[in-house]
Chain A
Amino acid sequence: MHNLIKNKNIKQSIFIFSLGLALGIYSLVNHYTSRVKSPWIMSPYLFPLLIACFTILVSISLFYEAKQEINVDSTEKVSENNNQNIEINLKETAKDKVNYKNVFLVIILSIVYYIFMPIISFIPASILYIAILMIIIGAKKLLSIGLISIVSTLIIYFVFSTLLSVRLP
């Protein structure tokens, strides 16, 4: 039971089930409280309701799949105790490789860029955005960072705005 609750796919299946249920309730409530009364076959909420039902069914299927995986894993783990340690180590190494801190920083930077772009205009905002993004990803040479961010923004602006007549933010 403890394994079941801790499993990532089980948690996801419960989350998806809740989403399906919420969509179903939303569709029913909106259909019955709508000012313009229409039969179900004409209702804008018929298809969302169908999608909600499918979502609930798929979440059950995902739960079943996850449960099967846990059963297989536990059988293998009992029989191959030594391999278990290796497996855990491998998983930890794989996890270590993913840099979520940088992803979080890029998302925050993108939100700040989105807010400030209309205020300080496209070119300065983009130069700063590219430069900071490069630093987050791991660029160290300040000269390259400065040159690439300024030159690439200006080239992109020229190509899109002047040559391709694409309106920029």
Chain B
Amino acid sequence: MFLDILHYWVDVRFVLLSFAGAVAGLFVGSIPGLSVSMATALLVSITYTWAPTDALATIMGVYVVGVFSGAISAILINIPGAPSSVVTTIDGYPMAQKGEAYKALKYATIYSFIGSIFGLVALALLAKPLTSIALKFQPMDYFLLALFGLAAVGGLTSRSFSKGLVSALIGIFLSLIGLDPVVGSPRLTFGIQNLKAGIAIVPALVGLFGFAEVLTVVAEGEQSGTVEKFVKQTVKTKDVLKEFWRSMYYCVIGTFVGALPGAGGPVASFLAYGEAKRIVKNPSRPFGEGAYEGIVASETANNALIGGALMPMLTLAVPGDAVTAIMLSVFYVHGLQPGPNFLKTNPESFSTILASGFLACFFLLFLGLLLAPRLSKVITIPKKYMIPIVTLLCVIGSFATNKRLFDVALMFFFGIMGFILRRNGYSIAPITLGLVLGGMMDSNFRRAISLASTSSSPIITLFGRPITIVLLIFTIFTIVINMPAFKTWRLKKDK
């Protein structure tokens, strides 16, 4: 595998595409209002005619650097460029106010690099053992894993668990529209001819992440962030690396959270930040007032999540976060089928992901140390000039894959729906996951039921295997601990 990765690293075209993706990731991640999910969704439609290797190189570049660059605006203007950088603002901006923006950016860059490398090494080492477990999965296990992912994402991404579940159910409902895969009859199309082919995933994602964001910016107006005075300091790398061993713990948290289907960057960085507050006894400054230990925790964890999120996506076809949900559609567009056999049937695609991922980590380090401090002008570009151009990109992105004008209408529809839902406290991430997993859940559920119906003891056939029991316990546990009634009961008990 190492030789395969090396082979990609000496391919100039591959390196250039990965670099182009990294530069794009640096800009979209750092500019508030543009997001990595939005850029990845747009890239799916642009790269669908490319070779899978080229497409994956570019997308991994955007993903790895885009997750990091959210920290730039978080530190410089107190507005996180990506949701996973929300925690970075807590200590990053106070550091910038104290004239230590350069130091904060250096910590963010180096620990994002360490986190990304850790996650990708974990992916390289754990993907095979995970595949051997995945091979034992039966239809009911797939159904329960997806259900667990949706329950987890519902509980973690919304303030209200019920609203998170509503989002997930909307996603599943939308995924069921079109021809039924088993019988072949149209379902939930309400007589609309264009819906017979189902809801195309790219326009839906471009609408949910792109046009919905445009409407949000239009509704909320310009988020004016003032860039703090920038003073270049001498920050020794040796001093920065003093947090290395502690960062390994945050790496484990990030990778683990990433591997949980559905949980995303904000969850990883919040958990790691909480742990940092617990384990760092003497921070450089109190947490929340400019402690670099806070930036270390947040940035390490949200970048370590990348490798973790790719694990269930590649081995089980169950994405770990919103971006990997979009990446899953990249695989489908290119005729690749992630799942238990993916590593065996497509070892070159796995090497491509690792090669471009590691390459992007080095670009992250290079761009982060060299360009990030100079981005203050770019991140404060007035939205009134940028947003219309983003809208046009959304139109092109939604049209390009199927060349259907109907998809542009779908994109607008999903954008408006996403905007309304977000304004009412419903998260978008569970919709994405539901949309991607709904079809798989439907077919596996029906397959499991029909297998059980032929058995003499259907309940044992459905739930009698150890993997199924573990997944069932996890799913029930996640649902129960998030239920409003349980929360009220616990509150009363604590009082």
Contacts and interface: CB of A to CB of B under 8 A. Distances in A.
Interface string A122-159: 00001001110110111100001000110011001000
B276 interface: no
B221 A99 contact: yes
A111 B412 contact: yes
Nearest to B398: A169
B392 A64 contact: no
Looking at A59, A114, A117, the one whose CB has the most chain B CB atoms below 10 A away is: A114
Looking at chain A's contact residues, the main secondary structure is helix
Interface in A1-55: 8-9, 12-13, 16, 23, 26, 30, 34, 36, 38, 41-48, 50-51, 54-55
Contact of B185 (A44, A117, A144): A44
A65 B385 CA distance: 41
Contacts of A44: 180, 182-183, 185, 187
Looking at chain B's contact residues, the main secondary structure is helix
A113 B395 CA distance: 10
Given A46-B449, A102-B218, A64 B388 contact: no
A169 B399 contact: yes
A103 B219 contact: yes
Interface string B376-398: 00000011110111011101100
B446 A168 contact: no
Interface of B: 45-46, 49, 160-163, 165-166, 169, 172-173, 176, 180, 182-183, 185, 187-188, 211, 214-215, 217-222, 382-385, 387-389, 391-393, 395-396, 399-400, 403, 405, 408-409, 412, 416, 419, 423-424, 441-442, 445-446, 449-450, 453, 483-485, 488
17 contacts: A9-B160, A42-B450, A99-B219, A99-B220, A100-B219, A103-B218, A107-B215, A107-B412, A114-B408, A129-B391, A130-B391, A137-B384, A139-B385, A168-B396, A169-B395, A169-B396, A169-B408
Interface of A: 8-9, 12-13, 16, 23, 26, 30, 34, 36, 38, 41-48, 50-51, 54-55, 58-59, 61-62, 64-65, 68, 97-100, 102-103, 106-107, 110-111, 113-114, 117-118, 126, 129-131, 133-134, 136-139, 144, 148-149, 152-153, 156, 160, 164-169
